[in-house]
């Protein structure tokens, strides 16, 4: 039977939003209105079946969030048992003098058949069930849920920062990041709910004990005082009915407590419990072989149950032999190829032997090879592909492929990133460890290998993967080794994005634009040399301005290219046309644009310094440049503390030289010209640099 479709049919049969009110009213009715024995039998049977179904769903859930409604179900089933206890207590005390069947056949069966009609045995069995449920299962599950809830809440900031790191590295999309953030929040809410729900289960166990004594004492008094039953018959009748009622309630309670314990003690493996136990218990034949040997020794001792021990020893030994045989079969390698005795002649030298420089290269040490081997579950190739996809979509052209190869000249855990044969970044990672980065707000120390984050130079520690949750709880941002390399590669590509755009890439861009604006591209091909177009696009990319809006760029060039072929003036004109787009790429810009400006006298000095200097250069004294950098740095730091962008608004003719001057010393400073601010935006000058 398809339970999901069955649930949908029930949902459609009820008016929308009426399921929960109907359930609450039904529970209240069970507590207030008397129920006939037949209805009690149906509800007790339903309670047992529901508990079994919840237990099976828990066993086959791959992770706790697959059954996120479990705390609510735990509460509802607890209320259902309490309502049934009240209803059955009413029937037992009112009709118990008429015999066992007066309270329903289910209670009678549990009182007569399960415990053999012996109320002393029933009391012992009931007490054992209560102890197992209350002291062992429920108390342990509640403690695990409490600790898990605290750890999940403490590790939330670290997990959120790890998600942001993956998003910035291009490993996940914005939608995937939002989904993972929702999952992190849902996980902490789930364990918090489980912590609270476990208290209901413990209270239910205590209520079961109290109800047992109330029913026995109350039934004994009612049977003798109101119905005139003899002492022995009164004790026998009401005690059996009460114990049968208690067992009917405690068995579903025990099943649900076990389900709760299984749910909160699950590991992070996204597999069902049976698969995890099979893989981890039976993966190594050595424990089975040792266990078989010990049971064999116990089986040959005189006076021991020899048959039982020797039989189980044979089964365990057979399992160990089977696992050993399977591992040996899997470890067999293919026979080596037959090598011919005749020496091969070296091939003739050709152009194929002349290797060209890779546009993008990644060299790795031999211990990092598993990271790029998909057969060993290496994820680095997918991470790099994610970086290329993100940057290609962001900047508007296809990022070239990264050529990955091993290099024995590197140390075992070292990697090297190069562009056009020039090394731009190196680092050292451990593929079997995670990197815990100190975000500046951590609350403890970690055991591991102290290092520096290769991308941003932050303090970090290489930790074992088992310590990941602890590090996130202490406030560290934890990423795996593949993410470290991918983030480093992403940062290097962004810093040198203009060098990746060449004639071939620009031609591909024009071919794509031609599909939707054929006439525009034809005019551009006539009027604008492609080499000139490449230099202008590189100027834009150098300041991290995407070239996605090629239609605006090409139209702006056609307007100005007939008047001048000067690259600086053409770039200035294109930037003016892209003013709204440029402002949009600056994070944190409000409706009123807050900017810094230069003092008019300083601006005149800079304009005069360009006269007679090489094209696009500022011929100013080093002391003046140092003073400007110091004043701007103070403003940038203050704006960073406020979480706002730093924009310097200057004359269009000195914008490009100033942007080059502060490109590396003040990477957070955006240098814009007056003409690049749209007329519709208001400007607020918060500082003047003089």
Is residue 429 scored above 50 in pLDDT? yes
**Residue 231 within any structural domain of the chain:** yes
For position 553, what pLDDT does the model report? 92
Q: pLDDT tens digits, residue range 531-567?
A: 999 999 999 999 889 999 999 999 999 998 888 888 8
Give 355 or 312, the one with higher predicted confidence: 312
Domain end point (choices 539, 560, 585): 585
Report, as an integer, the average pLDDT of 262-290: 69
Q: pLDDT tens digits, residue range 562-615?
A: 888 888 889 999 999 998 888 888 888 888 889 899 888 888 888 888 776 666
Q: Which of 260, 111, 280 is nearest to 200 (CA)?
A: 260
**Residue 10 within any structural domain of the chain:** no
3 pLDDT band, cuts 50/70/90, is: very low
For residues 484 and 517, membership in a common domain is answered with no
For position 168, what pLDDT does the model report? 67
**Residue 617 within any structural domain of the chain:** yes
**How long, in residues, is the chain?**
690
For residues 225 and 316, membership in a common domain is answered with no
Report, as an integer, the average pLDDT of 250-278: 70
Dihedral angle of Cα 580, 581, 582, 587, to the nearest 10 degrees: 100
Is residue 272 scored above 70 in pLDDT? no
Q: Which of 73, 70, 46 is nearest to 60 (CA)?
A: 70
For residues 628 and 525, membership in a common domain is answered with no
Is residue 426 scored above 90 in pLDDT? yes
d(CA 568, CA 423): 30
Phi-psi domain of 430 (left: phi exceeds 0; alpha: psi -120 through 50; beta: other): beta
* 587: its two tokens: 């994070």
Domain end point (choices 561, 585, 609): 585
Is residue 314 scored above 90 in pLDDT? no
For residues 31 and 73, membership in a common domain is answered with yes
For residues 225 and 169, membership in a common domain is answered with yes
For position 353, what pLDDT does the model report? 65
Beta-carbon neighbour count of residue 5 at 10 Å? 9
Burial class (CB in 10 A: 0-12, 13-18, 19+), 120: exposed
Is residue 347 scored above 90 in pLDDT? no
In this structure, are residues 74 and 256 in contact, taking their beta carbons and an 8 Å threshold? yes
CATH number of the domain at 568, please. Answer: 1.10.8.540
Cα–Cα distances in angstroms (integers) from residue 275 to residues 60, 61, 282, 283, in the given order:
10, 11, 10, 11
* 489: its two tokens: 């590669």
Q: pLDDT tens digits, residue range 460-486?
A: 999 998 888 888 888 888 999 999 999
Is residue 336 scored above 50 in pLDDT? no
**Residue 330 within any structural domain of the chain:** no
- Which parts of 563-629 are beta strand (E)? 592-598
Q: Which of 669, 663, 670 is nearest to 495 (CA)?
A: 663
d(CA 293, CA 41): 51
Is residue 6 scored above 50 in pLDDT? no
In the chain, pLDDT over 90 holds for what percent of residues?
A: 14
For residues 521 and 668, membership in a common domain is answered with no
Lowest average pLDDT, out of 345-349, 371-375, 435-439, goes to 345-349
For position 153, what pLDDT does the model report? 66
For position 238, what pLDDT does the model report? 72
In this structure, are residues 527 and 559 in contact, taking their beta carbons and an 8 Å threshold? no
CATH number of the domain at 481, please. Answer: 3.40.30.60
Q: Report helix, strand or coil for 182.
A: helix
Report, as an integer, the average pLDDT of 206-219: 76
**Residue 2 within any structural domain of the chain:** no
**Residue 4 within any structural domain of the chain:** no
3-state percent breakdown (helix, strand, coil) of the chain, nearest 5: 65, 10, 25
449-452/433-437 β-pairing: unpaired
* Mean pLDDT (the chain, rounded): 80
* Residue corresponding to tokens 């899997």: 330
Q: pLDDT tens digits, residue range 391-423?
A: 999 999 999 989 988 888 888 899 999 998 899
For residues 489 and 505, membership in a common domain is answered with no
Is residue 10 scored above 70 in pLDDT? no
For residues 579 and 607, membership in a common domain is answered with no
Lowest average pLDDT, out of 375-384, 507-516, 531-540, goes to 375-384
Transcribe 78-136 into DSSP letters: HHHHHHHHHHHHHHHHHHGGG-GGGG-HHHHHIIIIISTT-HHHHHHHHHHHHHIIIII
Contacts of 215 (CB under 8 A, 6+ apart): 89, 92, 93, 238, 241, 242, 245
In this structure, are residues 566 and 606 in contact, taking their beta carbons and an 8 Å threshold? no
For position 338, what pLDDT does the model report? 46
Report, as an integer, the average pLDDT of 107-121: 66
Cα–Cα distances in angstroms (integers) from residue 187 to residues 21, 71, 79, 161, 166, in the given order:
27, 12, 25, 16, 19
149 pLDDT band, cuts 50/70/90, is: low
In the chain, pLDDT over 70 holds for what percent of residues?
A: 81
Give 616 or 438, the one with higher predicted confidence: 438
d(CA 85, CA 30): 9
Q: Report helix, strand or coil for 2.
A: coil
d(CA 47, CA 248): 9
For residues 366 and 404, membership in a common domain is answered with yes
Contacts of 121 (CB under 8 A, 6+ apart): 115
C-alpha torsion sign, points 121, 123, 124, 125:
positive
Domain end point (choices 585, 609, 634): 585
Domain of residue 605: give its range: 590-690
**Residue 139 within any structural domain of the chain:** yes
**Residue 337 within any structural domain of the chain:** no
Is residue 304 scored above 70 in pLDDT? yes
Give 458 or 287, the one with higher predicted confidence: 458
d(CA 40, CA 44): 6
For residues 247 and 395, membership in a common domain is answered with no
Chain centre to alpha carbon of residue 685: 42
For position 274, what pLDDT does the model report? 64
d(CA 459, CA 440): 9
Partner residues linked to 437 by β-bridges: 460, 477
Q: Report helix, strand or coil for 515.
A: coil
Contacts of 277 (CB under 8 A, 6+ apart): none
For position 113, what pLDDT does the model report? 58
Domain tally for the chain? 5
For residues 553 and 606, membership in a common domain is answered with no
435 pLDDT band, cuts 50/70/90, is: very high
For residues 465 and 601, membership in a common domain is answered with no
């Amino acid at each position: 039977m398809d339970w999901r479709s069955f649930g949908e049919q029930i949902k459609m049969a009820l008016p929308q939003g009426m399921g929960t009110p109907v359930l609450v009213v039904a529970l209240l009715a069970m507590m207030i209105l008397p129920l006939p024995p037949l209805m009690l039998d149906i509800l007790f049977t339903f309670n047992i079946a529901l508990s079994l179904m919840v237990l099976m769903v828990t066993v086959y859930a791959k992770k706790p969030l697959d059954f996120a409604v479990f705390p609510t179900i735990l509460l509802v089933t607890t209320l259902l048992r309490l309502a049934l206890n009240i209803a059955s207590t009413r029937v037992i005390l009112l009709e118990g003098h008429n015999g066992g069947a007066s309270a329903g056949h289910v209670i009678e069966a549990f009182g007569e058949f399960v415990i053999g009609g012996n109320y002393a045995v029933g009391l012992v069995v009931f007490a054992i069930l209560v102890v197992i449920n209350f002291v062992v299962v429920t108390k342990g599950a509640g403690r695990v849920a409490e600790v898990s809830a605290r750890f999940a809440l403490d590790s939330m900031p670290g997990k959120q920062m790890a998600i942001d790191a993956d998003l910035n590295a291009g490993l996940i999309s914005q939608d995937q990041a939002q989904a993972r953030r929702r999952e992190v929040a849902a996980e902490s809410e789930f364990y918090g709910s489980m912590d609270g729900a476990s208290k209901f289960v413990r209270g239910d166990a205590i209520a079961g004990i109290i109800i047992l004594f109330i029913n026995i004492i109350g039934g004994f008094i009612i049977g003798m005082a109101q119905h005139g039953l003899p002492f022995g018959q009164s004790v026998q009748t009401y005690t059996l009915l009460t114990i049968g009622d208690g067992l009917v309630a405690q068995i579903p309670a025990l099943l649900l407590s076990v389900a709760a314990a299984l749910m909160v003690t699950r590991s992070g493996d996204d597999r069902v419990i049976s698969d995890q136990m099979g893989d981890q218990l039976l993966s190594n034949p050595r424990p089975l072989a040792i266990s078989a040997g010990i049971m064999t020794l116990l089986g040959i001792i005189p006076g021991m149950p020899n048959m039982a021990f020797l039989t189980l020893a044979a089964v365990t030994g057979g399992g160990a032999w089977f696992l050993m045989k399977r591992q040996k079969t899997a470890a067999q390698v293919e026979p080596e190829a037959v090598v011919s005795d005749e020496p091969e002649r070296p091939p003739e030298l050709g152009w194929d032997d002349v290797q060209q420089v890779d546009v993008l290269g990644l060299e790795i040490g031999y211990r990092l090879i598993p990271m790029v081997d998909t057969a060993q579950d290496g994820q680095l190739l997918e991470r790099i592909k994610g970086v290329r996809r993100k940057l290609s979509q962001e900047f508007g052209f296809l990022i070239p492929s990264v050529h990955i190869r091993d290099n024995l000249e590197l140390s075992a855990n070292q990697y090297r990133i190069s562009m056009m044969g020039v090394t731009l970044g190196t680092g050292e990672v451990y593929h079997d460890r995670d990197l815990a980065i100190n975000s500046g707000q951590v609350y403890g120390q970690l055991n591991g290998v102290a290092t520096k984050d290769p991308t941003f130079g932050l303090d970090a520690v290489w930790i074992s993967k088992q310590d990941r949750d602890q590090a996130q709880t202490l406030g560290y941002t934890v990423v795996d080794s593949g993410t470290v390399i991918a983030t480093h590669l992403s940062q290097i590509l962004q810093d040198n994005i203009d060098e990746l755009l060449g004639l071939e890439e620009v031609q591909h861009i024009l071919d794509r634009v031609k599909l939707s604006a054929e006439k525009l591209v034809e005019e551009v091909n006539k009027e604008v040399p492609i080499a000139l177009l490449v230099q202008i696009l590189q100027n834009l990319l150098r300041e991290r301005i995407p070239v996605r809006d090629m239609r605006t760029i090409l139209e702006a060039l056609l307007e100005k290219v007939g008047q001048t072929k000067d690259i600086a003036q053409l770039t200035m004109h294109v930037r003016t046309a892209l003013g709204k787009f440029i402002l949009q790429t600056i994070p944190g810009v409000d409706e009123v644009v807050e900017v810094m400006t230069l003092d008019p006298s300083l601006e005149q000095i800079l304009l005069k310094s360009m006269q007679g200097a090489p094209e696009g250069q500022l011929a100013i004294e080093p002391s003046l440049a140092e003073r400007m950098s110091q004043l701007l740095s103070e403003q940038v730091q203050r704006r960073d503390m406020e979480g706002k962008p730093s924009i310097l608004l200057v004359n269009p003719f000195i914008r490009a030289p100033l942007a080059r001057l502060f490109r590396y010393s003040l990477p957070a400073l955006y240098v814009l010209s007056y003409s690049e601010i749209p007329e519709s935006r208001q400007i607020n000058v918060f500082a003047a640099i003089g």
